[in-house]
Amino acid sequence: MEFKDNEAIYIQIAAFVSDQILMGKWPAGQKIPSVRDMAVELEVNPNTVMRSYEFLQGLEIIYNKRGLGLFVADDGFEKVKAYRKENFVRQNLPELFKNMYLLGISIDEISLQYQNFQAQQKNELN
């Protein structure tokens, strides 16, 4: 995994776990890799992975079964989605709006592009 320069590593690891849940690779009840295995896989300090997992536990996306490890919460998928949506609205949307404003792109133009995108995604899935 290549880390980006503009975000703390622990947040990027949390995002990686969230991606696995959103993509359905790690469904509800799935055990997630141990701190050590994740640290080895990503070549990072185990304390950093610990912090990512604590962060995700705080958001109740994963939970700790004493002695057994960490598992994806029953509503982990919904929790990730809600958290991501909130982030998108807070961080990405203002950036998008700023670019639209600077480049004079109307909301209708975006809407059309988005409809095309949706159709494409559906085709790819079918």
**Contacts to other proteins by CB under 8 A:** 3-11, 36, 39-48, 51
Backbone angles phi, psi at 24, to 5 degrees: 80, 5
Rank residues 47 and 113 by Cβ distance to other proteins and give the closer one: 47
As measured in angstroms, the least distance from the Cβ of 51 to other proteins is 7
As measured in angstroms, the least distance from the Cβ of 9 to other proteins is 6
Which of 73, 66, 92, 86 lies closest to 17 in space, CA to CA?
73
Residue 95's H or E segment, with its range, is helix 93-103
Residue 65, classed as helix, strand or coil, is strand
As measured in angstroms, the least distance from the Cβ of 80 to other proteins is 19
Rank residues 15 and 73 by Cβ distance to other proteins and give the closer one: 15
Euclidean distance between CA atoms 26 and 117, whole angstroms: 26
Rank residues 18 and 48 by Cβ distance to other proteins and give the closer one: 48
As measured in angstroms, the least distance from the Cβ of 8 to other proteins is 4
Rank residues 40 and 112 by Cβ distance to other proteins and give the closer one: 40
Residue 67, classed as helix, strand or coil, is coil
